[in-house]
Structures are given as C-alpha cells and as structure tokens.
Structure 1
Amino acid sequence: MKQILMILLLILLGSSFAFSQSEKQKIKIIDNIRSEMNKQVDAWNRGSIEGFMEGYWNSPELKFVSGENVTRGWQPTLNRYKKSYDSKAKMGVLTFSDLQIDVLSKDAAVVLGSWSLQRASDNPHGKFTLIFRKFKDGWKIVHDHTS
C-alpha cells in the first residue's frame, strides 16, 4: 500500500512539474511577443516604418489583409505602408491595447487586439488579428488581418 501511495505521489509531483514548466514556457512566449509588439510601436512612433516592419516575417509568403485588400509579401507590405503613411503627421502616435495572446504551440501564437492612431486631424482605430511564428531570429508576424 505504501508503495502504491509513493508511486501516485511521484506521478502527481512529476505532472505538476511538467505543468509548471509548460506554464513558464507559455508566459515566456507571451512576454516575447509583447516585447516584439512594443518594438513595433516604438519604431512607428519614431517615424520608422522600416523598424516597424522588422516585426514581420521577411518573406514573400507574408500576408497582410485590410479591408478589401490582400497584400502578399514583405516588400509589397512595406511599400503599402510607405504609400499610406508618407509623413510623420500621417503616422501619428500608435497605440496597441486589449491584447489577447493565445499560445498555440512552442512556435505559434495568435494575437487579438486593438490599434489606434492619435493624429492632429483625426484618430483612426480598429481591431487586428496577428499570427506569430517563431523563427531563428525571434517571433515574427506571418499573417496580419487589420480593420
């Protein structure tokens, strides 16, 4: 009987340790994604679209969806941003809020959130869904759907 209790105790301790490690990994992933998004906000608010784009996967397979438009590829997405936000006044001050980060695996996550721009003439805002994947150089957005 003591052996059975000891075995059950070891199983319980082992599974709680595994859960603890899993939770720590999930928290680390969330922190890394938040950090990447904060870098994007900082770059945008400095007027650096190129810096903002460092948060995106530099690949022709990147997808950016906004309204009726689907832009495929990192370079076309950069070009689209530069055309739409060709001055610091048009860029305004970017804020992300209401972030909900769902970790799907050790190398994939989905982020739901809100964005807003504070500009002299208006304050556009909306929602976004981002799919992040982990690469050798960190977490990158591979799919962005912004409204």
Structure 2
Amino acid sequence: MLLIVGCGTQQIDENGIRNAVTGVLTAQQKAWNEGNVEEFMAGYRRSEDLTFASEDTVSRGWEAVLKRYKTKYTPETMGQLNFSDLKITPLSPDAAYVIGTWALKREPDNPGGKFTLIFRKFEEGWKIVHDHTSSRVK
C-alpha cells in the first residue's frame, strides 16, 4: 500500500487581511480622538493572554491594559491620535503583524513613537493580541 500525503499551503488573502487590520486601526484612532478609551480597547482581544509592553513594563490581560490607558491618559490629555507609516505583514490566514508610527497632537507637547502589533483573527474579527509601543526620546 502506498500512502501519499500532500503538504498543502494555505492561501493568504493579503489584501483582505491588510484591509481588515487597517479597519481596526482606523476605528481605534477614531475612538481615541473622540475620547472613548473603552471603544479604543475594542481593537484588543478581550483576554487574559493580551500583552502590552511599553517603557519598562509589561501589562498582561485586557483589564490591565485598559487600566493602564485610563491611568496614563485623562480625557483632557488624550489629544488627537494619528497612526502612520503602517507596514502590515500577513503571516497566515489568521495572523499578521504591524509596524507603525503613532503621534499625539495635544498641548503642551506632541508625544509619539513606534509600535509593533500582533493581530490574530477570531470569530469576532481581527484583534490585537500583543502591542509593543515605544516613545520618542524627549
């Protein structure tokens, strides 16, 4: 008996993935600019496995990341968020990573920096499962 096993490759809809991920980031930017941190957080996977690394800390879990944002930013200090220089790289039909630039326009400063995001596709859509954000040196 001869058994032949084929190793098929999964087709990746790169444009579809890029459009979906861009949609999540656009919705996050809009929510932030409206002062709605909870809606901004809808782009993240609501899970204890979510990780957010920034400065010298790693926050684990959706609630911890929400608390971090609410502690660090008040409605008065949120400013206007802009994402730019996005490079979205599909890894598989259900995973992608993004490298980009973030910038806040606000008084009295205009902080910004770089980020790397890992997205996964779930039943509820594309969600961020890991965020590593850095800030420009002041």
TM over 0.5: yes
Q: Distance in 2 between matches of 1:125 and 1:41?
A: 14
Correspondences of 1:68-147 after superposition (within 5 Å): 68-87=56-75, 89-147=76-134
Equivalences, count: 124
Aligned residue for 1:75, secondary structure, equals: helix
Cα drift, residue 101 of structure 1: 0.4
Q: Determine what percentage of the aligned residue pairs are the same residue.
A: 52
Runs of 4+ aligned residues of structure 1 deviating over 2 Å after TM superposition are none
CA-to-partner distance for each residue in 1:30-84, whole Å, 9 max, x for gaps?
A: 0000001000000000000000000000000100000101000000100110011
Q: Distance in 2 between matches of 1:102 and 1:39?
A: 19
Unaligned runs of 5+ in 1: 1-21
Normalising by structure 1, we get a TM-score of: 0.83
More helix by share: 1
Cα RMSD of the aligned pairs, angstroms, is 0.9
Which structure has more relative contact order (CA 8 Å, sep 6+)? It is 2
Residue 57 (structure 1) aligned with residue 45 (structure 2):
yes
Unaligned runs of 5+ in 2: 1-10
Which structure's CA Rg is the greater one? 1
Cα drift, residue 122 of structure 1: 0.4
CA-to-partner distance for each residue in 1:92-144, whole Å, 9 max, x for gaps?
A: 00000000000000000000000000001000010000000000000000000
Cα drift, residue 86 of structure 1: 1.6
